[in-house]
Structure 1
Amino acid sequence: MSQTLIECQNITKSYEKTEVLQQINLSIEEGEMIAVIGPNGAGKTTFIETLLGIRRYDSGSIHYWTPSYLKHIGVQLQTTPFFPGLNVIENIKMFAAFYYVKMSKQEIQALLQLCGLQQVEKKEASKLSGGQQKRLAIAIALVHNPKLVFLDEPTAALDPRSRKDIHDMIKALKEQSKTVVFTSHDMDEVTKLANRVIFIQSGQIVAHGSPEQLCQSYEANTLDEVYFYLTRSDLQ
């Protein structure tokens, strides 16, 4: 039986008079691969930052599986501030130290292999390609072997080869029984990777389920069609 890692009940958040999150209810179960989707400004980032404790919510409750949950969560942001002048391995070691983790050579090599960074391990992080930097950002999110991983648009602005590399990494995380929550605007990516989709619109969860369930519910052939339907102006 899977463990509930996070359970949100009636979460609300407002900025001045604008309600950004409205009565959000959601549970995240161990082993899930969840995609959080929706248009820009829908509240996705605020919701993720609220789950991570970066932003405080106004009302409702969030329950975590352990009081020390922050030690067991890894986060890849769209931009990661790598340490200037340090190479890939040195950056990994530096971020690991923030978690009081001393990685062995074998552990570092295993992480480099998972993230496809073996060939550039001695290259300065700031001089990596865009795809390599995304892979390094994910590697850094994994240095403390987290139970739950948040990935913020992990393939945004990448070429097809780099996107496939990231997809393979995410699939490998699933095989390791990691729980992954990611945001994306690529519905093909969501279909390939997610076993549950959370659609946020105007601060509310307006649809959720597997890609197949959503397509069936809205009599659509693809998630793109579901997205286009849910973002129609006459539904707002």
Structure 2
Amino acid sequence: MDNNQPESILKVSDLCVQYGTFKAVKEVSFDVRKGEIFGLLGPNGAGKTSTLSAIEGLIKYQSGTVIVDGHDAKEKPLYARAAMGVQLQSTSFQAELKVSEILQLFAGIYGIKLTNEKLSAILKDISLEDAAGKRFGQLSGGQQQRVSLVISTIHNPRLVLLDEPTTGLDPQSRRQLWERIEAIRERGHAVVLTTHSMEEAESVCDRIGIIDHGKVITIDTPQALIEKHRNDPEVIAVSRKGRVTLEDVFIALTGKTVRA
């Protein structure tokens, strides 16, 4: 690693995931640095969910290595998982539980003492200071995502994995969640973000990796990818109104065919 580069919190090397005879992930490699938001993009079925699941420890991978905060995920899975915070696309908290109960529950799971003062401070920070007694099911989608994001970082993990966190949110809620994700980066965490929104990837991510058919086909900053490919015939063919966007580059690299 370049001595001028921040340390890598996540390092994935030659990762392979196979279901029976089907190879879903084929020798995928990338790293995510301290204080960086890394976007993992790909069409449906490209392999990004399998890659994320392998990192999280939800599925077994056949070969390759996953190093989280210096811990090999196969050799020291508990240490690797302790260094991670995960926010899934759909939350599974019980709708009848109060917001304060959910926060207390997960703080207890991570062995964190959550005083009333600290609880109030957390809720104030996410603009839900009046929602402690509300049931989770009574919250809006944006409010639920803010609670979920807090829970994923309540134990101050070095690596935060966010799986399409803004899906279904209105523009105001989406922008607010972007700001909170950026605040996580500013605190020195490494963030992996999956999204189908090219606007989100271009606005929030420091670097992105595009994966298709189980392989990483490119990694760079959003702007560098646009500049690199803006004159490609395939990009020019799909661009609209004469302005090349990250979405144009993404479609040119992965094809226009709709995936199931």
The verdict on a shared fold, with TM-score over 0.5 as the criterion, is yes
Between 220-229 and 188-197, report the one with greater CA deviation. 220-229
- Indicate the SS of the match to 2:14: strand
Which residue number corresponds to residue 4 of structure 1?
8
Q: Specify the code of the residue in structure 1 equivalent to 2:34.
A: E
Write the distance in 1 (CA, Å) between the matches of 2:118 and 2:6.
27
What runs of 5+ residues in structure 2 fail to find an aligned partner? 236-243
- Alignment RMSD, CA only? 1.7
Between 117-126 and 185-194, report the one with greater CA deviation. 117-126
Q: Does 1:37 align with 2:60?
A: no
Q: Specify the code of the residue in structure 1 equivalent to 2:49.
A: T
Q: Specify the code of the residue in structure 2 equivalent to 1:224.
A: E
Q: Is contact 2:42-2:210 (8 Å) kept?
A: yes
Which residue number corresponds to residue 132 of structure 2?
121
Alpha-carbon displacement from aligned partner over 1:66-117 (angstroms, at most 9, x marks no partner): 3412112110011222134321111011011111111233332332233332
Q: Which has the larger radius of gyration?
A: 2
Identity of aligned residues (%): 32
Q: Does 1:161 align with 2:166?
A: no
Write the distance in 2 (CA, Å) between the matches of 1:102 and 1:199.
40
Write the distance in 1 (CA, Å) between the matches of 2:195 and 2:121.
27
Alignment TM-score, normalising by the size of structure 2: 0.85
Q: Specify the code of the residue in structure 1 equivalent to 2:147.
A: L
Alignment TM-score, normalising by the size of structure 1: 0.93
Write the distance in 2 (CA, Å) between the matches of 1:148 and 1:104.
25
Q: Specify the code of the residue in structure 1 equivalent to 2:42.
A: G
4+ runs deviating over 4 angstroms = none
Aligned residues: 234
Write the distance in 2 (CA, Å) between the matches of 1:185 and 1:233.
14
Which residue number corresponds to residue 65 of structure 2?
61
Q: Specify the code of the residue in structure 2 equivalent to 1:117.
A: L
Q: Does 1:14 align with 2:37?
A: no
Which residue number corresponds to residue 170 of structure 1?
181
How far residue 143 of structure 1 moved from its aligned partner, in angstroms, is 1.4
Write the distance in 2 (CA, Å) between the matches of 1:133 and 1:233.
34
Q: Specify the code of the residue in structure 1 equivalent to 2:10.
A: I
Alpha-carbon displacement from aligned partner over 1:4-37 (angstroms, at most 9, x marks no partner): 2222221111112211001111122211111111
Q: Does 1:137 align with 2:160?
A: no
Q: Does 1:25 align with 2:29?
A: yes
Write the distance in 1 (CA, Å) between the matches of 2:149 and 2:190.
14
Q: Which of 213, 220, 228 is the aligned partner of 1:209?
A: 220
Q: Is contact 1:114-1:172 (8 Å) kept?
A: no
Q: Specify the code of the residue in structure 2 equivalent to 1:128.
A: L
Change (3 A) 1:146 1:154: same
Q: Which of 215, 227, 234 is the aligned partner of 2:250?
A: 227
Which residue number corresponds to residue 240 of structure 2?
none
How far residue 62 of structure 1 moved from its aligned partner, in angstroms, is 2.0
- Indicate the SS of the match to 1:39: coil
What runs of 5+ residues in structure 1 fail to find an aligned partner? none
Which residue number corresponds to residue 180 of structure 1?
191
- Indicate the SS of the match to 2:160: strand
Which residue number corresponds to residue 99 of structure 1?
110
- Indicate the SS of the match to 1:119: coil
Q: Which of 42, 47, 51 is the aligned partner of 1:47?
A: 51
How far residue 233 of structure 1 moved from its aligned partner, in angstroms, is 5.5
Alpha-carbon displacement from aligned partner over 1:17-62 (angstroms, at most 9, x marks no partner): 2110011111222111111111111111110010111111111222
Q: Is contact 2:211-2:217 (8 Å) kept?
A: yes
Q: Specify the code of the residue in structure 2 equivalent to 1:106.
A: E
Between 151-160 and 78-87, report the one with greater CA deviation. 78-87
